[in-house]
Amino acid sequence: MPDLLLMALFTEPMDLPTRAISLLWVLPICLSVAVVYKAVKVEPFRPDVFARETGLLFVTIVGFLIVIALALLLVAYFVW
Protein backbone atom coordinates (compact mmCIF):
# COMPACT_ATOMS: atom_id res chain seq x y z
CA MET A 1 0.00 0.00 0.00
CA PRO A 2 2.75 2.56 0.76
CA ASP A 3 4.18 1.82 -2.69
CA LEU A 4 0.98 3.04 -4.31
CA LEU A 5 1.10 6.29 -2.37
CA LEU A 6 4.72 6.85 -3.38
CA MET A 7 3.89 6.09 -7.00
CA ALA A 8 0.95 8.50 -6.88
CA LEU A 9 3.30 11.30 -5.85
CA PHE A 10 5.19 10.89 -9.13
CA THR A 11 2.27 10.17 -11.46
CA GLU A 12 -0.17 12.88 -10.37
CA PRO A 13 0.91 16.51 -10.49
CA MET A 14 0.67 18.69 -7.42
CA ASP A 15 -2.30 21.02 -7.46
CA LEU A 16 -0.89 24.51 -7.05
CA PRO A 17 -3.14 27.55 -7.02
CA THR A 18 -2.62 29.98 -9.89
CA ARG A 19 -2.02 33.14 -7.89
CA ALA A 20 0.98 35.42 -7.93
CA ILE A 21 2.02 34.22 -4.47
CA SER A 22 2.36 30.71 -5.92
CA LEU A 23 5.52 31.86 -7.69
CA LEU A 24 7.27 31.59 -4.34
CA TRP A 25 7.43 27.83 -4.96
CA VAL A 26 10.39 28.62 -7.22
CA LEU A 27 12.57 29.56 -4.22
CA PRO A 28 12.90 26.07 -2.66
CA ILE A 29 13.43 24.61 -6.13
CA CYS A 30 16.25 27.09 -6.82
CA LEU A 31 17.78 26.41 -3.43
CA SER A 32 17.67 22.66 -4.04
CA VAL A 33 19.33 23.06 -7.44
CA ALA A 34 22.04 25.29 -5.95
CA VAL A 35 22.78 22.91 -3.06
CA VAL A 36 22.96 19.81 -5.23
CA TYR A 37 25.04 21.49 -7.95
CA LYS A 38 27.55 22.91 -5.48
CA ALA A 39 27.71 19.63 -3.55
CA VAL A 40 28.91 17.99 -6.74
CA LYS A 41 31.19 20.79 -7.97
CA VAL A 42 32.96 22.21 -4.89
CA GLU A 43 36.43 20.66 -4.81
CA PRO A 44 37.77 21.33 -1.31
CA PHE A 45 34.63 20.71 0.72
CA ARG A 46 34.64 23.17 3.58
CA PRO A 47 31.32 24.25 5.11
CA ASP A 48 32.04 27.97 4.85
CA VAL A 49 33.05 27.76 1.18
CA PHE A 50 30.07 25.53 0.43
CA ALA A 51 27.60 27.89 2.12
CA ARG A 52 29.05 30.95 0.39
CA GLU A 53 29.09 29.34 -3.06
CA THR A 54 25.58 27.92 -2.61
CA GLY A 55 24.21 31.27 -1.50
CA LEU A 56 25.85 33.05 -4.42
CA LEU A 57 24.47 30.54 -6.90
CA PHE A 58 20.99 30.78 -5.35
CA VAL A 59 20.99 34.58 -5.61
CA THR A 60 22.26 34.36 -9.20
CA ILE A 61 19.54 31.93 -10.26
CA VAL A 62 16.77 33.97 -8.64
CA GLY A 63 18.22 37.19 -10.08
CA PHE A 64 18.26 35.83 -13.60
CA LEU A 65 14.71 34.53 -13.18
CA ILE A 66 13.60 38.02 -12.17
CA VAL A 67 15.41 39.60 -15.14
CA ILE A 68 13.84 37.10 -17.54
CA ALA A 69 10.38 37.64 -16.03
CA LEU A 70 10.72 41.40 -16.41
CA ALA A 71 11.91 41.04 -20.01
CA LEU A 72 8.96 38.79 -20.83
CA LEU A 73 6.60 41.23 -19.12
CA LEU A 74 8.04 44.04 -21.23
CA VAL A 75 7.61 42.01 -24.43
CA ALA A 76 4.03 41.14 -23.48
CA TYR A 77 3.32 44.82 -22.75
CA PHE A 78 4.52 45.94 -26.19
CA VAL A 79 2.89 43.08 -28.09
CA TRP A 80 -0.45 43.51 -26.36
Average pLDDT over residues 22-45: 90
Predicted confidence (pLDDT) per residue in 24-34, tens digit: 889 999 999 99
Distance of CA 72 to the CA centre of its chain: 18
pTM: 0.73
Q: Is 38 exposed, middle or buried (0-12, 13-18, 19+ CB in 10 A)?
A: buried
